[in-house]
Amino acid sequence: MSNPIQPVRGMNDVLPAEITAWQHLEQVARGIFEAYGYQELRVPILERTELFERSIGEFTDIVEKEMYTFEDLGGDSLTLRPEATAGIVRAAISNGLLRGQRHKLWCSGAMFRHERPQKGRYRQFYQLDVEALGFPGPDVDAELIALSARLWRDLRLTGVRLTINSLGTPVSRQIYRQQLVDYLRAHEGALDEDSQRRLNGNPLRILDSKNPEMRSLIEGAPLLSDTLDEESRRHFAALCGALEAMDIAYQVNPRLVRGLDYYSRTVFEWVTDALGAQDAVCSGGRYDGLVAHLGGEPTPAIGFALGVERVVALLQQCGGVPVARAPDIYLVASGERAERAALHLAEQLRDALPGRGVLLNLGGGNFKTQFRRADRSGARLALILGDEELDRGVAAVKPLRHEGGQIDCPLAQLPERIASLL
Ligand code: HAM
C-alpha cells in the first residue's frame, strides 16, 4: 500500500458529524439576511493579486505575508481570496451595479490566509459576509449591528460582546497617524520587533499588539478619538445613540483599528472569552473610500464577516446544535424478489411522502443485520418486505422508537398508514 496523502496544514475537512452545526448556522443566517433585505451573490475564489494589494493594503499582515499567490499559465498573478469584501466590491464595479444604485448583499465561502494555524485560526476558513453598498449611515451601521445581534440571539449564543470604534476619515486618520508615529518614535527602544517593522508601513496596527510588554506603551499613546473630524464624531454619536435605543450593549474600544486598510469611520467586532486567543467571531466596518479606490463611482459602504468555524465552536459550547435529522423509514427486504420490489417500493414511498426520509437497506444481509442497521439509522419505522409478504401484497410495519406491535399493511395503503404513524 502506498503512503496516504496528508491534508494541507491548516485546512480542515468538515465531517458529517459536525455538519449539522454548520447547516444550522447557515440556515439561520440566510433567513435573517433575507429578512433584512440582503441578496446572495457568489464571487470567484481567485482574483487578481492587485485587487487585494490595493484594497486590503500593501503594509497589512494579510498582503505582506499571508496570501496564497501564484502565477497562472498565462503569466497573471492570481491570489486565493483572503477575504470577500474586495471581491464583492470588484464584482459590483465590473457588473455596473453601482450606477446610482444601492445594494444589500451577502456571500458565503472559503477564504485563505497563510497564518500560523491554531485552534480557531486556519489557513482555509469560511466566512459569512454581509455588505451594504451605497448607504452613508449611520442608520445602516446600526441596523447591520442589530442584524448580527439578532443572529446571536436566534442561535442562542451567549457571551459575545460588541466593541466599536470610529477610525474617522482618511484625512483625520492621517493627522492621527503622524501623532502616533511621533509618540512611538520617541519610545522606539521599547518597541518589539513586530512593532518596529510596522512603524513605517502601518503604525496603527501597533495598537492591536497582543504582546503584554507593549501594553503600557500602547496605553500611553494618543487617542484616535481626539483627532476625529466633526462629521465622523457626529456619525459615531448617532450610531451609539441608535444602539442604545435598540438596547444593544456595546463598549467603545479606542484601540480597535482592524487589520485591513480600507476602513473609515465605524469599525466593530463581536468578541468572546470562550474560544481562547482567537476571540473575534465577527468583525467589520465602514469602507467609504474603497469603491472609488478600486475605480468605481464614489460609494459609501459598510459590512462585516463572521468566522464560521468560530461561531460553530461557540454553538457547540453553548449546546445550540440541533439534533441531526434521522430518516423516517428504514426498508428491510429479504429474498431475491422482495429485494427487487423494495427498490421500486422505496421510490413509490418517496413520491407519496415528499420530504420524508426513506432509507432502503442496501447490500443485503439477514434480517438481524438489517434490523441492526435500521436501529442505528435512528429511523422511526421499519418496513419489512420478504418474498412471503410480497406474495400476500403487504409489507409489515414496525415502530422502532415507540411501543407498538408489528402490523401487516396492504402495499397500496402504505403511504396513508405510514403518514398516520409518523
Ligand atoms: P477579518 O476580521 O479579517 O475581516 O475577518 C472576519 C472574521 O473572520 C473574523 O472576525 C474571524 O471570525 C474570521 N477569521 C479571520 N481569519 C480567520 C482564520 N485564519 N481562521 C478562522 N477564522 C478567521 C474581514 O475579512 C473583512 N472582509 C470583514 C468585512 C466585511 N469588513 C467589511 N465587510
Residue 215 lies in a domain: no
**CATH number, domain containing residue 117:** 3.30.930.10
**What percent of the chain shows pLDDT beyond 90?**
79
Average pLDDT over residues 158-176: 93
Q: Are residues 311 and 393 in the same domain?
A: no
Q: Among the three residues 282, 299, 318, which one is the final residue of a domain in this structure?
A: 318
Please say which residue of 298, 318, 338 terminates a domain.
318
pLDDT at 189 over 90: no
Q: Identify whether 177 is part of a domain.
A: no
Q: Are residues 355 and 312 in the same domain?
A: no
**For residues 119 and 276, what is the distance between their CA atoms, to the nearest angstrom?**
8
What's the CATH code of the domain at 356? 3.40.50.800
Average confidence (pLDDT) over 28-55: 98
Residues 80 and 128 in one domain: yes
The reply to whether 386 falls in a domain is: yes
Does position 117 have pLDDT exceeding 80, yes or no? yes
Of 263, 286, 268, the closest CA to residue 55 belongs to 263
Strands (E), 308-370: 329-334, 358-360
- Pair (396, 264) in one structural domain: no
Domain end call among 318, 337, 362: 318
For atom 30 of ligand 1, which residue has the closest CA? 304
Q: Which of 9, 126, 127, 268 to mutate to test the pocket of ligand 1 (most atoms within 8 A of CB)?
A: 127
Domains in the chain, number: 2
Residue 174 lies in a domain: no
Q: How many angstroms from the chain centroid is the CA of residue 364?
A: 41
Residues 333 and 267 in one domain: no
Output the pLDDT for position 110: 98
Q: Which residues contact 203 (CB under 8 A, 6 or more apart)?
A: 177, 180, 181, 184
> Atom of ligand 1 at shortest distance to CA of 120?
21
285 and 406 belong to one structural domain: no
Whether the per-residue pLDDT at 404 is higher than 80: the answer is no
* 310 found inside a domain: yes
Model confidence at 83, pLDDT cuts 50, 70, 90, reads: very high
pLDDT band at 41 (very low <50, low <70, confident <90, very high): very high
Nearest CA residue ID for atom 31, ligand 1: 284
What order do you get walking across the sheet with 103-112 strand by strand? 39-40, 103-112, 124-133, 301-307, 280-286, 266-272, 160-166, 251-252
Same domain, 308 and 337: no
Q: Which atom of ligand 1 is nearest to the CA of 84?
A: 27
**305 CA to middle of ligand 1, Å?**
6
Give the closest residue to 282 by CA, choosing from 138, 166, 126, 142: 126
Cα first-last separation, the chain: 48
* 383 found inside a domain: yes
Whether 267 and 398 map to the same domain: the answer is: no
Residue 235 maps to a domain: yes
- Same domain for 46 and 124? yes
Within this chain, do residues 301 and 160 fall inside the same structural domain, yes or no? Answer: yes
* Residue 5 within a domain: no
pLDDT tens, position by position, 300-343: 999 999 999 999 999 999 888 988 889 999 999 999 999 999 99
- Residue environment code for 1-38, b if the CB has 16+ CB neighbours within 10 A, otherwise e: eeeeeeeeebeeeeeeeeebbbebbbebbeebbeebeb
In terms of Cα–Cα distance, which of 414, 417, 398 is closest to 406?
398
Exposure of 77 in the CB half-sphere (CA atoms within 13 A): 8
Same domain, 29 and 88: yes
Task: Supply the range of the domain harboring residue 150.
Answer: 16-169+229-318
Residues 279-307 pLDDT 10s: 999 999 999 999 999 999 999 999 999 99
Q: Separation of 283 CA from ligand 1 center, angstroms? A: 6
Q: In this structure, are 266 and 410 located in the same domain? A: no
Are 67 and 56 in contact, with CB atoms under 8 Å apart? Answer: no
Letter for the amino acid at 79?
Answer: T
**Whole-prediction pTM value?**
0.93
